[in-house]
Structure 1
């Protein structure tokens, strides 16, 4: 595919209107998204126009939400103005930062940990808890073995550990 002057002008126009590389490739026809990105780079075109109208490549830094946080802390999001350089221009932008404050942890006083019956794999039945305890490669490895309710592989204590409500898991992940 050859980049004619007409196609390059159409590319520049569509890019300045804020269309994505995929959308531009579809409108031009016979060209891939990667070819559009490469041509934009070689032409040194500025960043696409955003909804606000200004063409810029500046983006607010993304927060890493994949790392688990310690359970005894809560966070709030605050904004902070930072200055950074882009080319020969200094840009001011507001970014979100996490602020952390300590939460007092009070363990539940009414938790009763059941005594394990220490069953081996061959001793398990449909009505026994199959919660593994210890290292499977060691001699003292065993299963809980306490009575489990209907259609559950675990006793009521281990059910609470294994099956956490969705909102609790989401809260712990953020």
Structure 2
């Protein structure tokens, strides 16, 4: 595909209007998104949010409530921030959209049963007691679970499930 003067001018116009490289490639036809990005780079075209376009056309066109990128981000809000930057000797102001993350507190499931610990200190532990530490070791109320543990485990069945998770579950939890 050859870049004719007409296609280059159309590329410059669409780029100044704030269209993405994919949108420009679709309008030009016969050219890929990467080819558009390469041509923009070779032409040394400025960023899309320039003084030539308004702030509304320079912004990315997407809904205000975008889908979360990861499952641990409960919700996102879009905020607009004014940023100043230099282009040569000219200082320019532009509005950019940023995603903010609203923190949510994790609510544990209501049907989990946590066993009562026997509150043993280090000297009271045996081979058959759970050695799961509870609390801050620097505090007086620090203790170990102390419940009965199976022969092959240092932990009771409840704490063994916490300590030994299959790798697939660890990846999903992230």
TM range (shorter): 0.3 to 0.5
Structure having greater relative contact order (Cα 8 Å, sep ≥ 6): 1
TM-score normalised by the chain length of structure 2: 0.41
TM-score normalised by the chain length of structure 1: 0.41
